[in-house]
């Protein structure tokens, strides 16, 4: 391991020593590494995962499996962000609303169970994008060790690989509401279309990373990795996609020639310096 990365790792390990830690655990590579390090070096570790319509069942199952394999106590809390009318209206601070609700619940559990800290897997790269959820993390004094010790996504993957964690190459995840442009209402119908559309594409064409963006007039904009676009743009495959997406209720189906990119819904916003 490179010396500078070892130093960053040592800093995280030191911050966990003698602590009773709650990890906000999504099952993604970031929080999985934190869960592993906390289990290995802290006094006690407890994982909390949110279950809601905004996340796939597969993600929840993978989170549960990881916790089981590492023998870490794990709590699934069920929330329904769509019960909040302001959240459903999909404002630009949508993630702030959701994160505030989640972390207030986690912090209440922290006090009840007498844990010392709650840690979050936000990393240095998250500061480069528009991430209103970070405001909630700061306001509620949730610890973000990757940001504190200047660790980016690639370094998290390197550390995960160093510890032989299977999640080291796991694709980046995001909640389904992030597939809907700001200002356009979020509802069960749209979320279900997005979820079922992505599941179909992944299973039918063995794709690992993609997004189905849900625009006005029931238009689907499919983002794929560059190497997968040519694989999909075959008449037979396009016919399969058209048939399935029409069944799901999409009126128009498009392939984005710019390909997959995290946070593409932020591109129209003049919010990133």
- In a shared domain, residues 200 and 67: no
- In a shared domain, residues 49 and 147: yes
CA angle, 133 then 257 then 122, to 5°: 20
DSSP state of 5: H
- In a shared domain, residues 145 and 32: yes
Give the number of domains in the chain: 2
Distance, in Å, from the CA atom of 199 to the CA atom of 24, rounded to the nearest integer, reads 25
- In a shared domain, residues 164 and 115: yes
- In a shared domain, residues 203 and 134: no
Look at residue 39 in the predicted model and tell me its pLDDT: 98
Examine the fold and report which residue of 169, 185, 220 is the final residue of a domain before the chain moves on: 169
For 209, the domain range is: 176-266
- In a shared domain, residues 127 and 31: yes
Is residue 271, in this structure, part of any structural domain at all? no
Is residue 75, in this structure, part of any structural domain at all? yes
Is residue 273, in this structure, part of any structural domain at all? no
- The closest of 226, 231, 224 to 197, measured between CA atoms, is 224
Q: Is the pLDDT of residue 157 over 60?
A: yes
For the stretch 23-77, pLDDT in tens is 999 999 999 999 999 999 999 999 999 999 999 999 999 999 999 999 999 999 9
Q: Is the pLDDT of residue 265 over 90?
A: no
- In a shared domain, residues 163 and 262: no
Q: Is the pLDDT of residue 105 over 50?
A: yes
Examine the fold and report which residue of 169, 196, 225 is the final residue of a domain before the chain moves on: 169
- In a shared domain, residues 94 and 218: no
pTM: 0.91
Per-residue b/e over 122-135, b at no fewer than 16 CB within 10 Å? Answer: bbbbbeeebbbbbe
Examine the fold and report which residue of 110, 144, 169 is the final residue of a domain before the chain moves on: 169
Is residue 272, in this structure, part of any structural domain at all? no
Is residue 125, in this structure, part of any structural domain at all? yes
- The closest of 240, 221, 241, 238 to 230, measured between CA atoms, is 238
Distance, in Å, from the CA atom of 3 to the CA atom of 118, rounded to the nearest integer, reads 28
Is residue 70, in this structure, part of any structural domain at all? yes
Look at residue 261 in the predicted model and tell me its pLDDT: 80
- In a shared domain, residues 42 and 161: yes
- In a shared domain, residues 148 and 44: yes
Q: Is the pLDDT of residue 95 over 60?
A: yes
| Cα separation of the two ends of the chain | 33
Q: What does pLDDT average to over the chain?
A: 94
Residue 12 maps to which CATH number?
3.40.50.620
């Amino acid at each position: 391991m490179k010396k500078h990365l070892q130093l960053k790792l040592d800093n995280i390990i030191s911050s966990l020593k003698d602590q009773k830690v709650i990890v906000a655990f999504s099952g993604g590579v970031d929080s999985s590494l934190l869960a592993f390090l906390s289990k290995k070096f802290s006094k006690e570790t407890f994982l909390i995962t949110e279950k809601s319509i905004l996340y796939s069942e597969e993600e929840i199952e993978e989170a549960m499996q990881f916790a089981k394999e590492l023998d870490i106590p794990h709590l699934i809390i069920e929330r329904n962000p769509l019960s909040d009318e302001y959240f459903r209206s999909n404002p630009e601070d949508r993630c702030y609303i959701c994160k505030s609700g989640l972390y207030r619940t986690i912090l209440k559990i922290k006090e009840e169970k007498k844990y010392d800290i709650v840690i979050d897997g936000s990393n240095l790269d998250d500061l480069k994008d528009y991430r209103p959820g970070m405001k909630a993390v700061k306001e509620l004094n949730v610890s973000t060790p990757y940001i504190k010790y200047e660790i980016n996504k690639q370094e998290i993957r390197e550390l995960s690989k160093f510890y032989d964690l299977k999640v080291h190459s796991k694709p980046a995840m995001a909640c389904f509401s992030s597939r809907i442009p700001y200002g356009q209402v979020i509802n069960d119908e749209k979320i279900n279309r997005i979820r079922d559309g992505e599941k179909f594409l992944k299973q039918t064409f063995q794709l690992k990373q993609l997004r189905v963006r849900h625009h006005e007039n029931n238009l689907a904009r499919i983002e794929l990795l560059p190497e997968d676009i040519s694989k999909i743009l075959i008449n037979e495959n396009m016919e399969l996609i058209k048939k399935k997406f029409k069944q799901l209720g999409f009126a128009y189906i498009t392939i984005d020639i710019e390909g997959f990119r995290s946070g593409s819904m932020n591109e129209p916003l003049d919010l990133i310096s």
